[in-house]
Structure 1
Amino acid sequence: MSQYLIDVHAHVYPSSFPNTPIEEILLRAKAANVKSIVTVSETLEDAQSILGLKNETLSDSLRDMIEPCAGLHPVQPVGSMSLVNIDQANSILEFIQEKSTELVGIGEVGLDFTPHVLKNAIDSNPNLNLSMEELKNVQRQVLARHIALSLQLDLPLNVHSRSAGHHALDCLRDYGARKVVMHAFDGQLKYAKKGIEMGYFFSIPPSIIRSPQKQKLAAEIPLTKLLLETDSPALGPEKGVDNEPNSIVISASEISRIKQIPIEEVESSVRFCLLNISK
């Protein structure tokens, strides 16, 4: 019999699902045996929305499914998409300090060195007068401040590292990050192994069924360092189709297939890992 599941990284709030009531998404997740959804923000407004859902909007039977995080994504939806800046960081860090007792973690934070994202930031903001390397350093500064706050508050970090896997791991190491979930890691296995040596966890989304890179990670990373995520509404089993937390069973099932172990063993292990990382 399937055991309950925990989605350690999802964006379940109205701006992510403008055409679908959040209650419907949670009911489908509940029917799929999802007990908790670690709900991460990309902006301050997202973080406020998540706590609004938890504290005001949802019914008693559903609000406990939402486990709130707050953090600043390295790519911000300003105009045609921009990159994080120091002023934005000041605002979210103040929010995290104020609401720390209501949060289970800090995220989504990290680095995004995708070439077209960096180029777009420069092209869209000609007054920045920053090179690509200087833009990367701003991201590093913002991540470092999130790391410092995570250590001060003893909260786990939920980390984005697109096209920047080893850079993010280096930054986390250099600033002493302890409790870390590397979300949907797209880096090389040799760098993931360094993260494992530092005690970090790696969460696997349902897109694993169409990603040889994620399949290789799942095969090589010890089960005790794997967690399950959906990154809803992104990274679903079908590209371009909105993903929901109820699809997390696909992540568990694929890890079960790859490691040739019962799915119940996967489900038990990832719950144990999450309990450990939140201590």
Structure 2
Amino acid sequence: MFQYLIDVHAHVYPSSFPNTPIEEILSRAKTANVQSIVTVSETLEDAKSILGLKNGTLSDSLREMIEPCAGLHPVQPVGAMSLVSTEQANSILEFIQEKSTELVGIGEVGLDFTPHILKNAIDSNTNLNLSTEELKNIQRQVLARHIALSLQLDLPLNVHSRSAGHHALDCLRDYGARKVVMHAFDGQLKYARKGIEMGFFFSIPPSIIRSPQKQKLAAEIPLTNLLLETDSPALGPTKGVDNEPNSIIISATEISRIKQIPIEEVGSNVLLCFNSIKK
């Protein structure tokens, strides 16, 4: 068995696990041979919390597991769920600039064109009188600014693309993004192939065991473009149950089964891929 695994996309900070001490989550991950957890933010407050853990009172061995990222998720928890704004982007981009030497990447960023999310945003912002396409373009503009900063700082991007797979890939291509992890990609295989051609990586969560789409994706993506994630506390093996980084072995085991290769090969390849994009 390989020595350790890397979770390239998780939300491991107190607001994501209000009823579970972070020390317990990290300890369980360490016991499961998880060495590194790329910890992504959805808001500026999350990003501050992640660096607080990294620089805080955790034991050295647990603190070293956290690989901090900062970014602005396209869906923001303001009252009823709303979409990202230019003003929010200004604040997180300033934070990333200031803390760039402490970060391993920029994320979670991207596009979310889920129909009910867009409808809720329109319904809750009637005073702005924005169309669906205008809301999509605001997301594109915010993603473009994250891309530009990632190029300036040479930091990889950790990208969300729910119901917007090919739109996100087009935006990444048009703005010259280089080091990219497509997190839990839900788009069609023909679009995933375009991402492969651009040299992007695709990370697979434990929900693969209950997702035919993720199983087909793992079969299609070359091993050299595959990474592992948990998206903790979401996308676990059991729907509706909090997920943790220690479940990353499920992703690795399922990829091993699908590709009919030893699990050790999956783990060693993930390490190579991770090191190739890490700052």
For the aligned pair, the TM-score class normalised by the smaller chain equals over 0.9
Partner residue in 1 for 2:58: 58
Partner Cα distance (2:49, 2:201) in 1: 27
Partner residue in 2 for 1:71: 71
Partner residue in 1 for 2:49: 49
Alpha carbons 2:2, 2:268 under 8 Å: kept: no
Partner residue in 2 for 1:94: 94
Partner residue in 2 for 1:171: 171
- If the length of structure 2 is used for normalisation, what is the TM-score? 0.99
- Residue 226 (1) aligns with residue 221 (2): no
- Residue 278 (1) aligns with residue 278 (2): yes
Structure 2 unaligned residues grouped into runs of 5+: none
| Alignment-mate amino acid for residue 191 of structure 1 | Y
| Alignment-mate amino acid for residue 119 of structure 1 | K
User: Which secondary structure does the structure 1 equivalent of 2:56 belong to?
Assistant: helix
- Residue 152 (1) aligns with residue 157 (2): no
Q: Write the mapping of 1:125-204 to structure 2, written as runs, cut at 5 A.
A: 125-204=125-204
Partner residue in 2 for 1:124: 124
- Residue 115 (1) aligns with residue 111 (2): no
Q: CA offsets per residue over residues 174-208 of structure 1, 9 Å max, x none?
A: 00000000000000000000000000000000000
Q: Write the mapping of 1:34-45 to structure 2, written as runs, cut at 5 A.
A: 34-45=34-45
User: Which secondary structure does the structure 2 equivalent of 1:56 belong to?
Assistant: coil
| Alignment-mate amino acid for residue 19 of structure 2 | N
Cα-Cα RMSD: 0.6
- If the length of structure 1 is used for normalisation, what is the TM-score? 0.99
Q: CA offsets per residue over residues 25-74 of structure 1, 9 Å max, x none?
A: 00000000000000000000000000000001312121000000000000
Q: CA offsets per residue over residues 253-279 of structure 1, 9 Å max, x none?
A: 000000000000000001100001125
- Report percent identity of matched pairs: 90
User: Which secondary structure does the structure 2 equivalent of 1:35 belong to?
Assistant: strand
User: Which secondary structure does the structure 2 equivalent of 1:242 belong to?
Assistant: coil
Partner residue in 1 for 2:213: 213
| Alignment-mate amino acid for residue 121 of structure 2 | A
Structure 1 unaligned residues grouped into runs of 5+: none
| Alignment-mate amino acid for residue 77 of structure 1 | P
Partner Cα distance (2:129, 2:80) in 1: 18
| Alignment-mate amino acid for residue 244 of structure 2 | E
Partner residue in 2 for 1:237: 237
Alpha carbons 2:207, 2:235 under 8 Å: kept: yes
Partner residue in 2 for 1:84: 84
CA-CA distance at 1:251 after TM superposition: 0.1
Alpha carbons 2:13, 2:53 under 8 Å: kept: yes
